[in-house]
Structure 1
Amino acid sequence: MPKLDQILIVDDEIEVGTFLSRLLVRKGFQTSYAETGADAFQLIASTGFAVAMIDLKLPDTCGLDILRQLKNNQPDCEAIIMTGYATTKTAVKAIQLGAFDYIEKPFDDISEIEQLVVKAFEYRHRITGQSGGQHEWQAIANRTGFVVGNTQKMIRLATVAEKIARKNINVLIQGETGTGKEVLARFIHAASSRSDHTFIPVNCGALPENLLESELFGHEKGAFTGATSMRRGIFEIADNGTLFLDEVGEAGLPIQVKLLRVLETGEFLRVGGEKPVQTDVRIIAATNVDLEKAVQAKNFREDLFYRLDVIRLELPPLRERKEDIPLLFNRFISRTGNLQVSPEVTRALLDYDWPGNIRELVNIANQAVALCDGNTILPSHLPDKIITRSSEQTEVLTENGKVAFSGSPVDTLEAALNAVRHGKNLTRDNIIKAYTINKQIGERLYEHMTTLGVAGPLPPSLREVEIKAIAETLSFYKGNISTAARSLGIGRNTLYRKIKEYGLLI
């Protein structure tokens, strides 16, 4: 069992190790010191720790390897990474591996070390249930409308986001459309030291390139037709604040060059301007495309990608955090009153896949509130696409031995029709088989209708049969009259006459 005040210090500089040990002992903590990775691994295997301070650069190993071993052996131990300025990006990655935080060397403020260690202890106590209270970020999340939920993936994401928010580094948020990238960006801004300054979102895919350039960097009077006065751009307005570049992957290469210059030098030129303008802006970029693939395809500059990708946060799609759906739905409907949600509605929401993610859930919630004339949201207040998917599922064995799920054979057929309508999983190899199965289903259903005494459709008339045969034959032979006539067993003139008679299009 770890001692409640036991701290592991790992640093190859004996002076640093001695300094930290004396500092923390004076504060009432117990310390163990490891000069090498081998020493650290041995201590981790033999002694329990509440907090560890680990240097990234060691002569025999990497601090990240020690962090991994520590988290494997003692997952409740909170790690503080010590890093030089040149390895800040690696230290930020350590947070994603489970580190509590990082501190840069050389240490300029001793009180910062003490405060960070105390915070690590407090966080460990809260996580292990030794003390109550909410997460540090909960108040900020509530204020910004960032509904984290109860999934470990989202809790970890919020924890990492809150930690890196305090660092003056750029952030890249990735996630499908509608997952809440702008809400996460606002949360990071609110948790940062820039929270008292401006937060400005810009959708890089919503404006033509010439307008986007003027929007971002401003323009001088007379820079182009209609520029009757000087106009400040968003980079200038957002000075000391945060700029959220949504869909940054949609920005053209000329804009990417200008963005890179701002990130590298902190200055830019207004459109038509000659004098550089200084700015201090934190960039949070977001995209629903794979920027690494865009770099490989030469659609996105590699140097800009690495400038933006200092820390990457991945927002999971709603289908991967379904246990949060009832909480989210109740939060959205509570904006307009105190409504209840029926169990059938909750089940329907959980059964749906949510391709539009949280944005789609918000729309469904607003629609349900608008249709509800009582105090309970019912299935009739939901769209058909939600209700259809929520039918009780049973197993159906398909021809290839796979198990499909459906509430009934009719639901299965409806699902198959939707799949065919959108061309899902259809190939040159299986489409003929699908067509044959479809015909057999029609024949078997007609037989069952007769057995059940259900009136089926009337047999087609000779005219209907003829029209269908001619139309399908012409389509098959791509309108070739001679070939179609031979296939039908009639002359070309007869085929021409019937095409005219039935009003068919060639």
Structure 2
Amino acid sequence: MTNLLIVDDEIEIGNFLSHLFKSKGFNVKVVNSGKEFSKIDFSRSNFHAAMIDLKLPDADGLTLLKDLKKQQPACKAVIMTGYSTIHTAVEAIKLGASDYIEKPFDDIDILEKQIDQLLISTGSTTRQQINDLANKIGLIIGKTPGMNQLIETAYKVAGKNVIVLIEGETGTGKEVLARFIHGASQRNNEPFIGVNCGAITESLLESELFGHEKGAFTGASHLRKGLFEIASKGTLFLDEVAEATHSIQVKLLRVLETREFMRVGSENTLHTNTRLVAASNVNLQEAVQQKKFREDLFYRLNVVHLNIPPLRERKEDIPQLIQHLLQRHTNNSITFSDDALKVLQGYRWPGNIRELSNFVTRVVTLSDSADAIITPANLPLAINAGTPIKQTEQADLELHMEGFLQSWVEKTLSAFEQKEEIDLEEVLAQIKQLESVVGKAFIKRTLKETHGNRRETAKRLQITMRKLRYILNEKNESN
């Protein structure tokens, strides 16, 4: 017989859950306070599962969870929480809870199913499911404890219809993790659509997200659905959300609060049911303190927070990552010697997995033989010295440019190859966007080289100060 422990200070809920699960053949024990919990003799009572309320008048649910897992590690715990404490519920998962459920219980069938699945599943089956999905997505979990805990947490929250915020340095694999969350969710048969908020101008991003009506602006020759509409039943991934302008942040806040939006040029309200996953390579909480990001939007996005560790903090995973990256190049059997792998593990990889991927591609491309063995002598001098080839900030800028240019070329070629009607005005607008992004990138790089000296930057780029401010969208700044 299954032994179930229920910890909830609301007597009515305790009685209801007791009656529900006793009718299913469970042996149920109910306690209504932390004091009653402390009196349980765990040496005589072996529980298979527990349902613990996060908020008790005389105890903290997280403390009770820690005590329960210490006394009976095999007991599977479900945290009961209100929406306002979901962030704490995610912390409970990191402490060993198997799942959480929101109160009030709107659907009893879901509650029963959740407990039944919890009791049926084992640690090995869950781990196998995680590994199978990760392999399908192309996500390398590796051996690092922090990365393993991160993926387990992501897998557990994937089935919940809550917003997820992923933070991590450029190149750590934020989009791959977002795809993993989508794949582990109940929306996995619906679209996964991503957009980089920093690679598109404000006007184009607004149209991209919310759509536009025919004639809404110059070049809008036909109605276009936005991503919130297209991905309504699926997952929308907002990459580099910190790069969104103030105006876009306001519109994002509204759609997250109301689930409603309007196409550009329309007065009709549309509804979206998309699951949002946002990502940022900067710390959004620090951006809020610096007045660069709206505080209210940050709290809306920060329901479930996942932070991907940089590659330098998971060096033991580098051999497995290299093996995975080599498998992309099917016409070779190149390997790395143990000494070469040790050298690569000693390098800091400021560009993270993206830099490692580019490095492996270069090695395969430049190798004289398809079955070569790479030794330390074949590695770049900077990697052998264990020092970054570029400063991290400069590497991030170049990697951003690389990603934007690749995306721009693919989108433009796709439009050129279309056999049906082509919106030439939109193509020309993308060309202006390319000019803007490339211009800003050159200015930012040169500003860094001149330590922020704008006059010297303008001189090196052979442009006027007025032109420099224009490209940086500082048109109203005086000379």
Using the size of structure 2 for normalisation, the TM-score is 0.74
Deviations along 1:60-106, one digit per CA (max 9) or x if unpaired, are 22312212333454444331012345544433342233311012334
Q: Distance in 1 between matches of 2:111 and 2:272?
A: 31
2:135 is paired with a residue of what secondary structure?
Answer: helix
Q: Distance in 1 between matches of 2:169 and 2:145?
A: 19
Deviations along 1:171-219, one digit per CA (max 9) or x if unpaired, are 1001111100000001111111221111111111111212211221222
Match of residue 49, structure 2, among 39, 48, 51: 51
1:335 is paired with a residue of what secondary structure?
Answer: coil
1:80 counterpart = 2:73: no
| Counterpart contact for 2:212–2:265, Cα < 8 Å | yes
2:195 is paired with a residue of what secondary structure?
Answer: strand
Deviations along 1:365-397, one digit per CA (max 9) or x if unpaired, are 1122223314243125433322233xxxxxxxx
User: Is 270-279 or 307-316 further displaced after alignment?
Assistant: 270-279
Counterpart residue number, 2:118: 120
Q: 1:113 to 1:385 in 2, by over 3 A?
A: same
1:219 counterpart = 2:216: no
User: What amino acid maps onto 1:68 in structure 2?
Assistant: K
Match of residue 34, structure 2, among 28, 33, 37: 37
User: What amino acid maps onto 2:357 in structure 1?
Assistant: V
Counterpart residue number, 2:336: 341
1:142 counterpart = 2:138: no
Q: Higher relative contact order by CA 8 Å / sep ≥ 6: 1 or 2?
A: 2
Q: Distance in 2 between matches of 1:355 and 1:74?
A: 42
2:161 is paired with a residue of what secondary structure?
Answer: coil
1:135 is paired with a residue of what secondary structure?
Answer: helix
Counterpart residue number, 1:240: 233
2:154 is paired with a residue of what secondary structure?
Answer: helix
1:349 is paired with a residue of what secondary structure?
Answer: helix
Q: Distance in 1 between matches of 2:190 and 2:126?
A: 29
Q: 1:273 to 1:228 in 2, by over 3 A?
A: same
Match of residue 59, structure 2, among 58, 61, 68: 61
Q: Distance in 2 between matches of 1:133 and 1:61?
A: 31
| Counterpart contact for 1:82–1:104, Cα < 8 Å | yes
Number of corresponding residues: 387
Match of residue 158, structure 2, among 160, 165, 168: 165
1:257, distance to aligned residue in structure 2 (A): 0.6
User: Is 343-352 or 98-107 further displaced after alignment?
Assistant: 98-107
Percent of pairs identical after alignment? 53
User: What amino acid maps onto 2:40 in structure 1?
Assistant: L
User: Is 226-235 or 299-308 further displaced after alignment?
Assistant: 226-235
Q: Distance in 1 between matches of 2:385 and 2:143?
A: 27
Counterpart residue number, 2:373: 377
Match of residue 301, structure 1, among 286, 294, 301: 294
Counterpart residue number, 2:421: none
1:153 is paired with a residue of what secondary structure?
Answer: helix
Q: 1:249 to 1:44 in 2, by over 3 A?
A: farther
Q: 1:214 to 1:107 in 2, by over 3 A?
A: closer
Match of residue 185, structure 1, among 178, 181, 190: 178
| Counterpart contact for 1:369–1:377, Cα < 8 Å | no
1:272 is paired with a residue of what secondary structure?
Answer: coil
Counterpart residue number, 2:464: none
| Counterpart contact for 2:42–2:72, Cα < 8 Å | no
Deviations along 1:111-160, one digit per CA (max 9) or x if unpaired, are 5444433443455x436xxxx78433222211111111122211211111
Counterpart residue number, 2:6: 9
- Asked which structure has the greater CA Rg, the reply is 1
Q: Distance in 2 between matches of 1:151 and 1:48?
A: 32
CA RMSD of aligned residues (A): 2.8
Unpaired stretches in structure 1, ≥5 consecutive residues: 390-414, 423-506
| Counterpart contact for 1:364–1:382, Cα < 8 Å | no
2:129 is paired with a residue of what secondary structure?
Answer: coil
1:312, distance to aligned residue in structure 2 (A): 0.3
Q: 1:28 to 1:361 in 2, by over 3 A?
A: farther
Q: 1:229 to 1:383 in 2, by over 3 A?
A: same
| Counterpart contact for 1:371–1:381, Cα < 8 Å | no
Counterpart residue number, 1:104: 102
Q: Distance in 1 between matches of 2:195 and 2:357?
A: 22
Q: 1:383 to 1:42 in 2, by over 3 A?
A: farther
Q: Distance in 1 between matches of 2:267 and 2:13?
A: 49
| Counterpart contact for 2:90–2:153, Cα < 8 Å | no
1:24, distance to aligned residue in structure 2 (A): 4.4
| Counterpart contact for 1:342–1:376, Cα < 8 Å | no
1:136 is paired with a residue of what secondary structure?
Answer: helix
Q: 1:161 to 1:144 in 2, by over 3 A?
A: same
User: What amino acid maps onto 2:345 in structure 1?
Assistant: L
Using the size of structure 1 for normalisation, the TM-score is 0.70
1:289 counterpart = 2:282: yes
1:353 is paired with a residue of what secondary structure?
Answer: coil
Q: Distance in 2 between matches of 1:17 and 1:213?
A: 48
User: What amino acid maps onto 1:54 in structure 2?
Assistant: I
1:307, distance to aligned residue in structure 2 (A): 0.8
Q: 1:76 to 1:153 in 2, by over 3 A?
A: farther
